[in-house]
Amino acid sequence: SQQGEEDPQALSIQEGENATMNCSYKTSINNLQWYRQNSGRGLVHLILIRSNEREKHSGRLRVTLDTSKKSSSLLITASRAADTASYFCATDGISEGAQKLVFGQGTRLTINP
């Protein structure tokens, strides 16, 4: 079964630096998505990249997808204290209609002021 796995598991950087998180998966996908979760809160959808896309930008976020390596990266530029959260990648299979997501373990990102 497909599985999203992020690395590193934890990342601590200084405010203003860039943060890069990686995700690998095992089987063919339709889309790959990144979510943020603040402590004790729900999942906030950040960005979706389709299997035929290689790079996507949204504000300070940049996502890349390499389907040949079955991997994706999330880059947050000019990090802020408010970016402190856990970040998850989630993959869905090649299907239509309902989108069953498989989540990775997540990366805990801490931005130090």
Q: Which residues bind other proteins (CB under 8 A)?
A: 30-31, 33, 35, 40-45, 48, 88, 90, 96-106
- The continuous run of DSSP H or E covering 83 comes out as none
| Encoded tokens for 65 | 């997808």
Of 42 and 113, which CB lies nearer to other proteins in the complex structure?
42
State how far Cα 53 lies from the chain centre.
15
CB 2 to other proteins: min, Å: 11
Contact 110, 84 (CB under 8 A): yes
Of 8 and 16, which CB lies nearer to other proteins in the complex structure?
8
CB 25 to other proteins: min, Å: 13
Helix and strand tally (H, E) in the chain? 0, 11
CB 69 to other proteins: min, Å: 21
Of 89 and 111, which CB lies nearer to other proteins in the complex structure?
89
Of 45 and 54, which CB lies nearer to other proteins in the complex structure?
45
Helix, strand, or coil (residue 80): coil
CB 97 to other proteins: min, Å: 6
CA separation for the pair 100, 113 (Å, rounded):
37
